[in-house]
Amino acid sequence: MSTAPFTLDDLRRVLLEAAGADEGVDLAGDILDVHFESLGYESLALLETGSRIEREYGVALDEDLLADAQTPRALIAAVNEALGTVQQAA
């Protein structure tokens, strides 16, 4: 198990696997503080994303924290908190 921090690139990859990407959304762009809703991801997509992260990184994400994480920055922070790794600026 790697203890490297969970990064924005990691999240981009998992999002694509879990839910694809909306046409017209540039996932590669500066999305750290863009609401998931504006990125085209609704709760179902985020649930699938959350459970993929949990499986792949062997962590349990707090349900409320996950539900409250409305931006990539917030979600990355929640994952890193669960991983016990220090969050890095992406």
Partner 1 sequence: MTTSVVVTGLGIAAPNGLGTREYWEATRNGKNGIGRVTRFDPSSYPSTLAGEVPGFVAEDHLPSRLLPQTDRMTRMALVATDWALQDADIDPAELPAYDMGVVTASSSGGFEFGQNELQKLWSQGSQYVSAYQSFAWFYAVNSGQISIRNGMKGPSGVIVSDEAGGLDAVAHGRRLIRKGTPVVVSGSIDASICPWGWVAQQAAGRLTRSTEPTRAYLPFDAEASGYVPGEGGAILIMESAESARERGARVYGEISGYGSTFDPKPGSGREPALRKAIELALADADLTPGDIDVVFADAAGVPELDRIEAEALTAVFGARGVPVTAPKTMTGRLYSGAGPLDIASALLAFEEGLIPPTVHVTADDDYALDLVVDRPRQAPLRAALVVARGYGGFNSAVVVRAAG
Partner 2 sequence: MTGRRVVITGIEVLAPGGVGRENFWNLLSEGRTATRGITFFDPAPYRSKVAAEMDFDPEAHGLTPHEIRRMDRAAQFAVVAARGAVADSGIELQAYDPYRVGVTIGSAVGATMGLDEEYKVVSDGGRLHLVDHEYAVPHLYNYLVPSSFAAEVAWDAGAQGPSTVVSTGCTSGIDSVGHAVELIREGTADVMIAGSSDAPISPITMACFDAIKATTPRYDAPESASRPFDGTRNGFVLGEGAAVFVLEELEHARKRGAHIYAEIAGYATRSNAYHMTGLRPDGAEMAEAIDTALAEARMNPTAIDYINAHGSGTKQNDRHETAAFKRSLGEHAYRTPVSSIKSMVGHSLGAIGSIEIAASALAMEHNVVPPTANLHTPDPECDLDYVPLVAREQLTDAVLTVGSGFGGFQSAMVLARPERSVA
Footprint of partner 2 on this chain (CB under 8 A)? 42-44, 47-48, 51, 63
Binding site for partner 1 (CB under 8 A): 16-23, 40, 44-45, 47-48, 51, 54-55
Answer with the entry of partner 1, partner 2, none that 63 interacts with (C-beta below 5 to 8 A by kind).
partner 2
How far, in Å, CA of 23 to CA of 36, rounded?
14
Give how far Cα 58 sits from Cα of 48, 69, 70, 79, 85, Å: 15, 19, 22, 11, 13
Closest distance of CB 25 from partner 1, Å? 9
Q: Which is nearer to partner 2, 49 or 80 (CB)?
A: 49
